[in-house]
Structure 1
Amino acid sequence: MWENPRPPRNGMGVAALTLGLAGALLFWTVLGGIVLGLLALIFGIVGFRRGKRGEATNGTLAAVGAVIGALALVGSSAVLVFVVSVVSSGDYSELEDCMQGANTTAQQEQCERDFVDSISP
């Protein structure tokens, strides 16, 4: 007789968008942006494929979540590269040396100002 159609499986698309937005908001926390962005990208691809097969009704939502997740992933990667380059530079070791030799708060603040000046373009 009548075959019961399966309800749409929209969970992956919703998860992709939610994780993508969270990753975009937290991209500066590197770990949050990379993990959430990667999960959003994976869930978005799966959700988009489900939409193409007719198993879900929110394929576009899943694609948007995947794109936002990819942007969060790229943003977090850029932040990670910047942080690693600053930490591995000689300027950071100079900051550490200065801070260890600083005896007062004013001297520590001067160390911080010198560091910011050294990495600013």
Structure 2
Amino acid sequence: MSSFDRPQPKNGLAIPALVLGILAVVFFWTVIGGILLGVLALVFGILGMRRARRGGAPHGKLAIAGAVLGGVGLIASLVLVAVGASIVGSDEFKNLQECVGQAKTQAELDRCERDYGNEVDD
């Protein structure tokens, strides 16, 4: 029996980890893209690395790349969510919402925008 007849070990987690990691980096600005796909890429990448290390399955480096990209997408998305939450929770933003809610004309909306900019700059 030659080496060509033996079935090669498979690592079916490496390619999905890489694809999900790339998608997590590309779509980090969305919660689903960055967080969900990032976590999935990390999990598949870690499992793929362990399988490659344990059983000699191929594509261990692809699994590592997928895990790293998934981690980058996850971290970037979490930072974006934290920044967004701090902006939405700020007093300046609440003042802007109240002003816009009471505005009836475009001139009043423009004034709200200017006032918000002045509050943020101070």
TM-score range, shorter chain: 0.7 to 0.9
Matched, 1:60 2:61: yes
**Measured at CA, do residues 118 and 56 of structure 1 come closer, stay the same or move farther in structure 2, by a change above 3 Å?**
farther
Distance 1:54 1:100, change over 3 A: same
CA shift for structure 1 position 50? 1.2
| Structure 1 segments of 4+ aligned residues over 6 angstroms from their partners | none
Structure 1 runs not aligned, ≥5 long: none
Query: Which position in structure 2 is the counterpart of 1:10?
Result: 11
* Partner Cα distance (1:44, 1:13) in 2: 6
Matches within 5 A, 1:70-109: 70-109=71-110
TM-score, scaled relative to structure 1: 0.85
Tell me, yes or no, if the aligned pair for 1:34 and 1:72 is still in contact at 8 Å.
yes
Q: Structure 1 residues 27, 49: closer, same or farther in 2, change over 3 A?
A: same
Paired with 1:119 and 1:31, the residues of 2 have a C-alpha distance of 30
Alpha-carbon distance between aligned partners in 1 of 2:6 and 2:107, rounded to the nearest angstrom? 71
| Residue identity matched to 1:26 | F
Letter in 2 for 1:35: L
Same amino acid, percent of matched pairs: 42
**Deviation digits for residues 21-44 of structure 1 (CA, Å, limit 9, x no counterpart):** 111111111332000000000000
Displacement of 1:85 after TM fit? 0.6
Matched with 1:46 is 47
Work out whether residues 30 and 79 of structure 1, in 8 Å CA contact, stay in contact via their aligned partners in 2.
Answer: no
Q: TM-score, normalised by structure 2?
A: 0.84
Radius of gyration: which is bigger?
2
